[in-house]
Each structure stands twice: as structure tokens, then as C-alpha cells.
Amino acid sequence: MTEVRLTQELEEQAALHALGVLEHDDRPAFAVRLQGESLPLRQAVTAYHAVTDALADSVIPVVPRAGLRERLLATVAQEAARETAQFERVANALALNAVPVAPRASLRERLLARVEGHIDVKLDPLKGLTFVKASEGIWQEMAPGISVKALFFDPVSRRATALVRIEPGTRYAPHRHVEAEELYVLEGGCFCGGRELKPGDYHRAESDTEHHDTSSDEGCLLLVISSPQNEMLR
């Protein structure tokens, strides 16, 4: 008899159902599936319930001091915010040279995202202000001779702000701009769009334009605002 395996989506929903954090809109359809003929789904839910029940039974109930829960959640939220910011900076740096894809989120990431939605304490210590000091952030090599340190990513405009360092004698691959790209030369010099650029020079390329000749003989440091999903030309 052929073994029937659950899809990843149903496996995730079974875990979320056991945790009690399944999205409200997903609950009716999931309940219908659970009451139907899907034996593997019922077995998965039973297994996840067994795990959550075992965890619950192993914990001795205590009454925390007033405000302790909020302080703990605030601390967790602060650490999560730091890790998320660090991850986004690295991910954005890598995305500057990545082929656009739409990967399926892992079970762990989706579970954490759903659970986070049920935490009512949101910590925003900087109140909308973002600072990245020179000693902070991570430089990532996106291509031979080209390193990037992502500073910020705007999820609304889908544009990233980053520092780009080009080593002497390096040429960047030709690419088409999905959105407008802006760059400002901070150090050194480069050749871009048929023009030589020196410190203090600014350049903007509108969407659907192409860069074929971006290079630097002496090396340079650029401040770049661009879409991470520019199309690389072959």
C-alpha cells in the first residue's frame, strides 16, 4: 500500500492547530479536512497534541510577579528585533546579486511568525529611528571584488540602501534596473553609464535602464539605493 504523505502546508497547519495559533481564516477549511477521510492529517494533529500536552504537563504552574510577563516579552521582542535586523541586513546584501525567486518559508519560520502575532507586547526602542554605525553591520561579498553592507530595506518601495565597495580593477556585471537606482560616490572613483564619477558625484538610473560598464580602476566606496531584484544581463 502506498504511503500517503501530507503536503507541507497541511503539516504546518497541523502544528499550528495543536499550538492554538492557526490563522482564523484557515480554521474552517482545516476543520473540514480534519473531520474528513484524511487519516494522515488526524494522525499528525494527534502527534502534535501529544507533544504540546507533554510539554504542558511537565511545567509546574506558577503565578509570576506583576509585570514580569511584560518585561520578559519585552526582552524577547528586543532580542528578536536585533536578530531580525541583523538577518535582514545580510539577506538584503545577498539579494542584491540574487536571481529573483519566491522560496517557500520553512516550517520553523512560519511557526515563529504566527506565534509572534499573538504576543501583545511590541518593543520599538528607537521609535522609528534607524542607526547603523560604521562599526556595525556585516560586509558580504556579492561578486569577486565587490562587497556590500546593507543599511536598510524599505518593504513598501522594495528598495535597499547599502554601502558598496568596489576593489581596484573590478568590473560589475551588466544589469537592468527594475526600479530607479541612485548612487553617490563617497571614496575613490568609478566609471558608470559612460561617465567617470569622483567623490561627491551623484548618479541616478531610472527603471528599465541598463548599466553595462560599471567599473573602477582605483577602487571606490559608493552609497547605493536600489532594488535588490535588478535583472542580471547575460
Q: Could you report the per-residue pLDDT of 89-117, keeping only the tens digit for each?
A: 555 554 554 444 444 556 556 655 554 54
Residue 172 burial (10 A CB sphere; 0-12, 13-18, 19+) = buried
Q: What is the pLDDT of residue 54?
A: 74
Give the cell for residue 65: 510577579
Kindly provide the residue ranges of all beta strands, DSSP E only, lying in the chain, ordered along the sequence: 140-143, 146-154, 159-166, 170-171, 175-176, 181-188, 190-192, 195-197, 202-205, 210-211, 215-216, 220-226, 231-232
Q: Say if 1 falls within a structural domain.
A: no
> Is 170 within a domain?
yes
d(CA 118, CA 39) in angstroms, rounded, equals 30
- pLDDT for position 105: 52
What mean pLDDT do residues 67-75 have? 77
**Three cell numbers written together for 94:** 545577498
Distance CA 138, CA 132 (A): 11
The answer, yes or no, to whether residue 197 has pLDDT greater than 80, is yes
Is 52 a domain residue?
yes
Report yes or no on 2 lying in a domain.
no
Mean pLDDT value of segment 48-54: 79
165 in Cβ contact with 137 (< 8 Å): no
Query: Residue 26: what pLDDT?
Result: 84
Same domain, yes or no: 69 and 51: no
Residue 214 belongs to some domain of the structure: yes
Average the pLDDT over 221-228 and give the result.
Answer: 90
More confident of the two residues 17 and 85: 17
- Domain interval for residue 91: 64-234
| 94 found inside a domain | yes
Same domain, 40 and 19: yes
Q: What is the pLDDT of residue 221?
A: 96
Contact 140, 95 (CB under 8 A): no
